[in-house]
Amino acid sequence: MYMNGMDDALLSRRKKGGGGFLPSLCNILGVLILMAVLALCLALTLPRFLGYGIYNVVSGSMEPEIPVGSVVYVEGVRAEDVAGGDVIAFQSGDSVIIHRVVENQVVEGKFTTKGDANAEEDMEKADYSALIGRVSRHYPFFGRFLEIYTSSVGKIYVICFAACGVMFNILAGRMRERRREG
């Protein structure tokens, strides 16, 4: 039976333990882990570079439109450009409130606001100076990741998760190296 050089290489590779399923699996896992960490980091940091504020919804005042645990992206806007029906973010004491504008009172420089789940309008009107911006997007449940990610423990978890991805790729390289040597 005649074999050329390519068939000899394939035969010797098969004798050494197969096609390398385990190193490939380690590489795939490592890359997927690193991509997940990168996607999470980009989703939480890139919008800030583009001028958006990112906030986690912790109360149910805007349900069902914006459920608890959502993340909202807020874009800067001139107060005069806000219309009734827009959802805005504004500062109230130490809190950021996300509510719908019932009326923009341009002459007074105030907004009448109301949470969708609330029966009544907010008791205090929001001043123009308290306006952070208009909610441009919201993603349900993503706020829980934001909450975890921004905590000290969450940052350690993300670093460890990324390190696991790197370790899987290093392990795959070492397994391939051993296969070539052996």
**Cα separation, 29 vs 165, whole angstroms:** 7
**56 within some domain:** yes
Three-point CA angle 7, 10, 16, nearest 5°: 140
Query: Which H/E stretch holds residue 88?
Result: strand 87-92
Q: What is the side-by-side order of every strand in the sheet holding 131-139? A: 52-56, 71-75, 131-139, 87-92, 95-105, 110-114, 126-127
**What is the Cα–Cα distance from 33 to 49, expressed in whole angstroms?**
24
Average pLDDT in the chain: 86
Claim to verify: residue 136 and residue 83 sit in the same structural domain = yes
The amino acid at 85: G
Same domain, 61 and 113: yes
Phi, psi of 63 (to 5 degrees): -75, 150
Does residue 38 sit within a domain? yes
11 part of a folded domain: no
- The pLDDT score that the predictor gives to residue 9 is 52
165 and 94, same domain (yes or no): no
Domain co-membership, 117 together with 172: no
39 with 56, same domain? no
Kindly state whether residues 63 and 81 are assigned to the same domain: yes
Read off the pLDDT of residues 3-26 as tens digits, 9 standing for 90 and up: 555 555 544 554 454 448 888 899
| Whether 59 and 117 share a structural domain | yes
Residues 174, 176: Cα–Cα separation, whole Å: 5
pTM, to two decimals: 0.70
Is residue 162 within 8 Å of 34, Cβ to Cβ?
Answer: yes
**62 and 129 share one domain:** yes
Q: Do 136 and 63 share a structural domain?
A: yes
The CATH code of the domain that includes 62 is 2.10.109.10
pLDDT value of position 19:
47
pLDDT, mean of residues 79-100? 93
Domain range for residue 127? 52-140
* Crossing angle for the helix pair 21-49 and 142-150, to the nearest 10 degrees: 90
User: Residue 171 domain-assigned?
Assistant: yes
- Together in a domain, 167 and 100: no
Residue 7 domain flag: no
Q: Between these two residues, 164 and 143, which has the higher pLDDT value?
A: 164
* Number of domains forming the structure of the chain: 2
